Structures are given as C-alpha cells and as structure tokens.
Amino acid sequence: MPAKRLKIDRAFVSDMLDDPEDLAILEGIIGLAAAFRREVIAEGVENVAQGEMLLQLGCDFAQGFGISRPLLAEAVPDWIKTWRPDPAWARCRRISRDKLPLIFASVEHRAWILAIEKSIQDLRLSPPPMNEQQCRFGEWLTQQGRALYSANPAFQSIDELHRQVHQQANALLSQQTEDDPSELNRGLATLHGLRNEMTEQLRKLLNQS
C-alpha cells in the first residue's frame, strides 16, 4: 500500500504506561516506521507522561486531548499561534536502544502494582509474584539493572523503594478481607505514593545513564 504515514491506535497508547505488551507493540511499530522511512503518528495522547514516552521511543507526531480538545476551524489559526508544548516534551529526546530495558522495567513495575490492585478488589484474582526477586521488575533489578547501574545513587534508591513496595503490597493483601475499607484505601494511597516515587527515580536513572 502506498502509505506515507502509520497511525498507532489509541488502544495501545492509553495503556502503554501500565502494559508491557502494549509498549512492545508501540516500540515495534515505531521501529518498523523508521526502517521503512515512514512517518508515525500516535492517537489518543491524553497526558504529559504518554507524550514523553512516545518521544523517548521516537514518535514525534501525535494527536489527542493532551495536545488540544477539538476546535472549530476558525479557532485553529489562533491556537497555532499560542500553543506551546509542555516543558517536559520540549526537553525530551529519543533514547538509545540500550536504554529500552530500563523503560520496559519501569512499565513492568507499574503493571505489577496494577495487578496487586486488581487482586485486592477482586478476591477471585490471584496476586502477581510477591517475592521481590521473582517479579519481572525484581529480575531486571537484580540482574541487568545491578550490572549496569549499581554505582548510581538513583539505582540505590530504587532498590530500597522496591523492597518497600513489596512490603506494602503484602500488608495490603493481608488486609483485604478486613471490614475497614478506609484502612485499605489509606494503604493503597501509600502504595501509589511509593509507585510514583519509584517512577521518578527511574526517570532520573534514565536521564543520568
């Protein structure tokens, strides 16, 4: 087909920060587009983090509410004059392929947190691996991560945060049959805080390495 541009469906973009399989599909599409000298544009970019990830993977074009809500035709010229990209996007650069495992490790960690939440909300669902060295992020951390980044202060913080995340998740799973939902909600808020701190440290490691 004489196509000059590939469009990535919003279904892959919406979950790429929490789903390693969607991220792998995205990375593959972007790589194919580059190999065949085609432009690639992502649909459904709704927040800064999604745009940042796409730019890191090499996708420079996107559409979605994170850029603009739908406009009337007569409003477009003024929008073009005034719109500025988020500062995080302006600073963002495509990462080298040797840093991709770090990106995937970050998404694996967020996927693990999401699986914990789902197992707490639905007792019929089994939790993901709870041993901190057996989850996918833990495997990366103890093998490739430690080999490449062990001297970096950000990596040392990540190692400790990872232990805290597993401790908190185990505590939450032991509370899931209790009758106090407020206590469970506080525990989930703590888990989310640890997740966000971990994401920030991983971003620092990515930018420093």
75/156 same-domain check: no
72/134 same-domain check: no
Return averaged pLDDT per consecutive 10 residues of the chain, 209 residues in all.
Answer: 86 93 94 92 95 94 94 95 92 88 92 90 84 89 90 89 93 74 85 92 82
**Domain's final residue, options 33, 60, 94:** 94
Q: Of all helices (H) and strands (E), which one includes residue 5? A: strand 5-8
pTM: predicted TM-score of the whole model, two decimal places: 0.85
The CATH number of whichever domain residue 80 belongs to comes to: 3.20.20.450
Q: So what's the pLDDT on residue 14?
A: 93
Query: Sign of dihedral through CA atoms 60, 57, 205, 110?
Result: positive
117/184 same-domain check: yes
Q: So what's the pLDDT on residue 13?
A: 94
Q: So what's the pLDDT on residue 1?
A: 65
The CATH number of whichever domain residue 125 belongs to comes to: 1.20.120
Q: So what's the pLDDT on residue 179?
A: 61
Task: Please return the burial class of 190, using the count of CB atoms within 10 Å of its CB with bins 0-12, 13-18 and 19+.
Answer: middle
78/165 same-domain check: no
Are 36 and 71 in contact by the 8 Å Cβ rule? The answer is no
List the domain range (segments joined by +) for residue 102: 98-208
